[in-house]
Amino acid sequence: MKAPTRFKLWSFYAAFVVILIISIAQVETNADQNLDDASGALDKSWGLAISILSLIVIIFTLFSHLNQSLRDRIIDNKPEAIIILILLIFSTILVAIVSGPDRGLAVDKNGAVFIGNMYYFAWAAFINGVLILANFMESAYGINVTETMRLRSSSFTYWTALLVSSLVVMGTCADLYNRNCDVAVENKPQPFCSQTVLGVVTGTIAVVLSLIIVALKISLGAAPFLVEVGTDLLLFILYVVEIAVVTDSGGPGAPLGNLYYFSWISFLLTFGVGKACHEDYVEAQMIVEQQQRTSERPMPTLANVTSGGDDEDDDHDGKREKVDEDDVI
């Protein structure tokens, strides 16, 4: 029996976690890059423990794909769903431990990534876990998550991604503010704190507005077109300002870390929403034009039908008379 397509995804998951274990094990918690050595040592212990436990669970799942009896009991059943959810929780914790601002194992005291393998493979493991969950839902329950999101609206996927990325922007800026700016006014580093506040405000507004649009699309099947376009335009302007200020030299998003990457991702997603709205508008225009052409087509009337029937009778009578004349000759 052929192994399910998730076997390849589980194999990638194992490889990503192995790289994570090696990277975390090599971290020096007393290095100059770390802001808090005590926190670094604790995070390293938790990171190693969660990574090793994740690897054990993944190896067991891979073996279950190859063993007939285990495959029948676990794969495409509730046990696999529980395993996937647990590993997603582990991956979320690992992303926070590895890439958290200031004290993340893979970032320095300025929030910049200095251990690339750990940072990028932590995110790769998390994304791979999401893909495994989507594949499981399609295989076990026939729910194609990607197709379902696309059928709701061409922009639904972009709005969902924008919601998640804006949540990261908001959370990262809030954490940076709590760590660096939660002091007396005269001791606050400026303009760093003001830039961080701008990031928090932009992320919060984007999360709230994206959540409203997503909720409208889920509950009603669509959001009012002008509301969606206006919201996207507002978020586009906000992220233009946010990127210009927050990722500027000396800003909280200047180092290559979560805030930098997700600020740009959010900005690009506003383009994706705009592109989807334009496609919806063009499609709606084509439907309207087609309906207009259909309505302009002349409808048959009783007079036309009667007239057509009389003409046909005359033709039949003419043909009958011609046949009679031939018979006489």
| Cα–Cα dist 174/168, whole Å | 10
The two three-digit tokens of residue 195, written as one number: 């830039």
- Using the predicted structure, report yes or no on whether residue 198 has a pLDDT greater than 90: yes
Closest to 133 (Cα-Cα) out of 13, 3, 1, 215: 13
List the single range of 56-70, 218-232, 309-323 with lowest mean pLDDT.
309-323
List the single range of 2-11, 26-35, 56-65 with lowest mean pLDDT.
26-35
pLDDT tens figures, 75-105: 889 999 999 999 999 999 999 999 887 678 8
| Cα–Cα dist 51/46, whole Å | 8
| Cα–Cα dist 4/21, whole Å | 27
pLDDT tens figures, 127-176: 999 999 989 988 888 877 667 666 667 788 899 999 999 999 999 999 88
Beta-bridge partners for 107: 113
- Using the predicted structure, report yes or no on whether residue 314 has a pLDDT greater than 60: no
Q: How confident is the model at residue 196 (pLDDT cuts 50, 70, 90)?
A: very high
Cβ atoms of residues 28 and 126 within 8 Å = no
Mean pLDDT over each residue of the chain, to the nearest integer: 84
Query: Hey, is 107 helix, strand or coil?
Result: strand
pTM confidence score: 0.77
* Torsion, CA 192, CA 195, CA 196, CA 201, rounded to 10: 160
pLDDT at 303: 57
